[in-house]
Chains A and B, each alone.
Chain A
C-alpha cells in the first residue's frame, strides 16, 4: 500500500469571490510503513493538505490515491487533531471504541482492541475517566489510541502536540516515537516545529509559505529507535539546520506580511 498525493492544489474562494491560493501542485507519496512529516511556516496550508488527504475537504485539482488496496469502500484513515477532538460525553474507553462501534464490531472484540491500545499509550486505569478529568498530554494519548484502534491504512496527525506545554510536548515526542516503532503505521505528520520533524520522520517534506509548494523532500537517515540522546547528535542538528535554512526566509516573509 502506498498513498500518492497527486498534484494537489487548493484555492479557497470566499463569498465576495476573492480567491486565496492555499496549496500549489503538491506531489509526493507516503510509502507503506513510512513516517512522513510535512513541515512549513505558519499559513502554508499544512492543515488544508491534511484535511484533503483525510477526505474532510475537497481539493481544487489533483487527487489522493491509495494504491494497492482492494476495497470498494473509502480507504480508512484516522486523524489526531491539535485540539484533541475527544467526545466530552464519552469516557476514555468509549472514545477509543468509537470507530469500532461505527464498523459494527462485536463488543468483546471492541474491548480487546481498546485494551490493547489503551495500554500501548499508557492509560491503563483511566478507562472510565471523562476527557475533562485528564491533562492535555493524556487527552492526546486517548486521541492517538482512538486513531490507532480504528486500524487506519494511513494515520494522520495535525500538529498533535502544539496545544501542549513544551515539556509535555518533548515527552510526547518520545512516546510517539516509541508507539510508532511498535506499530509501524503509515503516518503523515504535520508540524511547524523543525526539531520535531527531524526527530520523528523518515522523510520530511518542506513546504513554502502560502501558496504552499514543496521546497524539498529530505530523507532523515537517523537510526531507530530514536530517543533522548538523538537531539545532541551532529547529524540531527545538521538536518535541523538544513530545514531551517529553507524555512527561515519564508517564515520571516510570512511574519512581516501578517504584521
Chain B
C-alpha cells in the first residue's frame, strides 16, 4: 500500500441545504423597532436644534399641532373636502372604467373604436388637463372631481380590458355549452373573472386619486388637504404642512387596508 496515493481523509460528507436563504425569515419586531428609532433620532435632531424647527419640526410638535387641529375641528373641513372629491371622482371612474373595459374587451367594434382613443389620451399627465377642465367646468368642485375621475379611469379601464382578454376561454365555452347567451356570459363569467383585476385597478387608482386631489387643490380651492398644505407653506407653518403630509399617508394606508378587506369579502374563492 505504501507509496500509493491516499484518498482524502474525509470519510463522510454531509449534504448542506444550499437554498436555506430562500426561506425568508420574518423580523416582526425589527420593523417596529427601526421605525421608533428613526422617530427618536428625528426628535433628537430637532430638539438639539441641529436643524431649525422651521425646516424640520420635531415629531412631537407635529403631533401636538395635529391634535390641536383636531380639537378645534379645523382639520375636518379640509379632510372632508378632499375625501368627497376623491369619492365622487373614484365612483365615476370605477363605474365608467368597468363598463368601457368590458365593452372594448369583449366586443370587437368598441375595441376597434376605443383602443386608439385610449392609447392617445392615456399618456397625457392628467394634471395637464386640469386647466382645460377648469375652462369647461368652472373653478368649483366639478373640475376637481373630473380630473380625479380621469386619472382613475385609465388604470381601471386598462386593468379591466386586460382582465377580460385573459378570461379563461374554456370557462366561456363551458357556460355556452350550459346554455348561456352573450349577455349572461358577461354577467356570470366575465364579471367574476375580472374581479381581482378590478381590485388591482382600484388600488392603483386610489394612489392616483390622492395625487390628483392634492394637485387640483393647490391650483384652485378654498378647502382641502392640498389647499391646507399650500397655505401652510406660504405662511411658513411647517408643522401644519407636516400634519397635511401625515394625513395623506394615513389616508393611503387606510384605503389600502379597506380594499384588501373588500377583496377578501368579494373574492372568497381565492385562498
Contact with A along B181-202 (1 / 0, CB 8 A): 0001000110011010000000
User: Which residues in window 190-227 of B have CB below 8 A to A?
Assistant: 192-193, 195
Chain B interface, >50% SS class: helix
The residue from A77, A78, A132 contacting B269, defined by CB atoms under 8 A apart: A132
In the complex, the answer to whether A89 meets B269 with C-beta atoms within 8 Å is yes
Asked whether B268 lies within 8 Å of A79 as measured between CB atoms, the reply is no
**Closest residue of chain B to A156, judged by CB?**
B177
Whether A234 is near chain B, meaning CB under 8 Å from some CB there, is no
Distance between B88 CB and nearest chain A CB, rounded to angstroms: 30
Task: Summarize A's interface: helix, strand, loop or mixed.
Answer: loop
Within 8 A of B (CB), among A192-220: none
CB-based nearest B residue for A81: B170
Task: Classify chain A's interface size.
Answer: 20 to 34
Q: Mark B159-179, 1 if CB is under 8 A from A, else 0.
A: 000000000101101111111
B215 CB → nearest A CB, Å = 38
Q: Are B178 and A56 in contact (CB under 8 A)?
A: no
Closest CB in chain B relative to A81 CB, distance in Å: 6
Name B14-37 residues within 8 Å CB distance of A. none
A219 to chain B, nearest CB (A): 29
Choose one: B168, B179, B195; the contact of A102 (CB below 8 Å). Answer: B179
Q: Given known contacts A83-B170, A87-B171, A87-B189, is B176 in contact with A132 (CB within 8 Å)?
A: no
Report whether B178 and A78 are in contact in the complex, using a CB–CB cutoff of 8 Å.
yes
| Complex: chain A residue closest to B177, CB-CB | A79
Query: Is B231 interfacial (CB 8 A cutoff)?
Result: no
Q: Is B256 an interface residue (CB 8 A)?
A: no
Q: Taking A88-B269, A132-B271 as contacts, is the C-beta distance between A98 and B173 under 8 angstroms?
A: no
Residues B179 and A99 in contact, CB atoms below 8 Å apart: yes
Query: Given A56-B177, A86-B174, list of 11 further CB < 8 A pairs?
Result: A51-B173, A55-B177, A77-B177, A83-B170, A87-B175, A87-B189, A88-B269, A90-B269, A102-B178, A130-B269, A150-B178
- Identify which of residues 96-140 in chain A touch chain B, using a CB-to-CB cut-off of 8 Å: 98-99, 102-103, 130-132
Within 8 A of B (CB), among A131-158: 131-132, 146, 150, 156
Q: Chain B residues near A132 (CB, 8 Å)?
A: 269-271
B237 at the interface (CB under 8 A from A): no
User: Shortest beta-carbon distance, B80 to chain A, in Å?
Assistant: 36
Number of contact residues on B: which range applies? 20 to 34
Interchain CA distance A250-B228 in the complex, whole Å: 78
Interface: B180 (CB within 8 A): yes
A55 to B180, CA, bound (A): 13
The one of B171, B173, B192 in contact with A56, judged by C-beta atoms closer than 8 angstroms, is B173
Is A76's beta carbon under 8 Å from chain B? yes
* Residues in chain A near residue B268, CB distance under 8 A: 130
A85-B171, A85-B173 known; A76 vs B179 contact (CB < 8 Å) = yes
Q: Are A56 and B175 in contact (CB under 8 A)?
A: no
Q: Which of B179, B195, B269 contacts A150 (CB 8 A)?
A: B179
Cβ-neighbour of A85 out of B174, B193, B269 (below 8 A): B174
- Asked if A230 lies at the interface with its beta carbon under 8 angstroms from chain B, I say no
CB of B178 within 8 A of CB of A98, answer yes
Complex: how many Å from CA A164 to CA B165? 28
Q: Give A54 to B179 CA distance when docked, in angstroms.
A: 11
Rounded to whole angstroms, the CA-CA distance of A81 and B169 in the bound complex is 12
A215-255 vs B: 1/0 string, CB under 8 Å?
00000000000000000000000000000000000000000
Residues of A within 8 A of B267 (CB): 89
**How far is B194's CA from A89's CA once the two chains are assembled, in angstroms?**
11
**What is the bound-complex CA distance between A63 and B178, given in angstroms?**
21
User: A99 contacts which chain B residues (CB < 8 A)?
Assistant: 178-179
Alpha-carbon distance A102/B188, docked complex (angstroms): 10
